Amino acid sequence: MGHGLLSGKKGIIFGALDSKSIAWKVAERCVEEGAQIVLTNAPVAMRLGEINELATKLNCQIVPADATSIEDLENLISKSMEILGGKLDFVLHSIGMSINVRKKKDYTDLNYEWMKTTFDVSAISFHKVMQTAMKMDAMNEWGSILALTYIAAQRTFPDYSEMAESKALLESFARSFGYHWAKKAKVRVNTISQSPTVTTAGSGVKGFGDFFGYADKMSPLGNASADACADYCVTMFSDMTRMVTMQNLFHDGGFSSMGMAPEILED
Ligand SMILES: NC(=O)c1ccc[n+]([C@@H]2O[C@H](COP(=O)([O-])OP(=O)(O)OC[C@H]3O[C@@H](n4cnc5c(N)ncnc54)[C@H](O)[C@@H]3O)[C@@H](O)[C@H]2O)c1
């Protein structure tokens, strides 16, 4: 049940691929809380078609955009303002992809052309989205921008490979851009560091099943679900968190503060 937390707010949600996607849940929760949204994803993701079901269910429109293309982003932002009838209050960047991970390349034998693509898709696209929106003066004051990240940005999780560096870059962009946008138009920028979550991108990481169980035991509250992440995103888009900016916010059931959990030693 909604509480009208986003009543009257307008936003763009990147990254809903299928019903497991974190962005899918965020889109549902935002609409439930009274927001008007535009969905977007890479043209290649459109071919899978599931996003159309979400758009029908939520009665919203889709504008395809490759988040690495400035031209696509300009088109997305101008069409979204047209569709929604004004400037934006929130944007969710929920995008991640690594060809080296997908092709199971060892971390000490990475292909550097693929690495550049990984950084472009998974991190630089965040800067591109923000720079394009700022140049187009597309955000309302006190607007809120979020990107999803993972604790491998700070600690070593060997199978996360070059996605660790992507997330470190992504989080740094949030801090740096957050400064400029706060000064210019009181827009806030944060990243949410989410627990392992069973999705297409998540399950692509080697040994994900075992790791999911390990993180669940290490976290006193257990792993945070995609639904819980959607709730957190709603609060970050709402007016209840207006002074939070330039932060990396852990949403992980306590995992990031743990040293040792006795549960790990059982059985
Ligand atoms: N699943 C996890 O365990 C987990 C944990 C922490 C953070 N995250 C992050 O959450 C975010 C969402 O991932 P998810 O787990 O929901 O998986 P997902 O596979 O459902 O979402 C990834 C999305 O990125 C989109 N994408 C890829 N290339 C793109 C491009 N060029 N332009 C636009 N969109 C593009 C895909 O189409 C897809 O919708 C990612 O940033 C991911 O790293 C995931």
The alpha carbon of 202 and the centre of ligand 1 are apart by a number of angstroms equal to 8
Atom of ligand 1 nearest to the CA of 226: 16
Residue-level pLDDT, tens digit, the chain, 267 residues: 789 999 999 999 999 999 999 999 999 999 999 999 999 999 998 888 799 999 999 999 999 999 999 999 999 999 999 999 999 999 999 999 999 999 999 999 999 999 999 999 999 999 999 999 999 999 999 999 999 999 999 999 999 999 999 999 999 999 999 999 999 999 999 999 999 999 888 888 888 888 899 999 999 999 999 999 999 999 999 999 999 999 999 999 999 999 999 999 886
- 113 CA distance to ligand 1 centroid (A)? 20
Which residues approach ligand 1 with their CB closer than 6 A? 14-15, 17, 21-23, 41-42, 45, 66-68, 94-97, 121, 148-150, 194, 196-197, 199-202
The pLDDT, as a whole number, for residue 49 is: 77
pLDDT at residue number 225 = 97
Cα dihedral 51, 228, 232, 120 sign: negative
Q: Using most ligand atoms within 8 A of CB, pick from 97, 157, 229, 250 the residue to mutate for ligand 1.
A: 97
Nearest of 161, 174, 192, 19 to residue 97 by alpha carbon: 161
The pLDDT of residue 1 is: 75
**pLDDT for position 209:** 86
Distance CA 39, CA 58 (A): 10
End-to-end CA distance of the chain, in Å?
Answer: 40
Provide, for the chain, the percentages of residues in helix, strand and coil under a 3-state DSSP scheme, each rounded to the nearest 5: 50, 15, 35
Question: How close is the Cα of 267 to the center of ligand 1, in Å?
Answer: 34
Query: Based on the number of CB atoms within 10 Å of its own CB, is 83 exposed (0-12), middle (13-18) or buried (19 or more)?
Result: middle
pTM reported for the whole predicted model: 0.98
Fold of 10-265: Rossmann fold (3.40.50)
How confident is the prediction for the chain on average, in pLDDT? Answer: 96
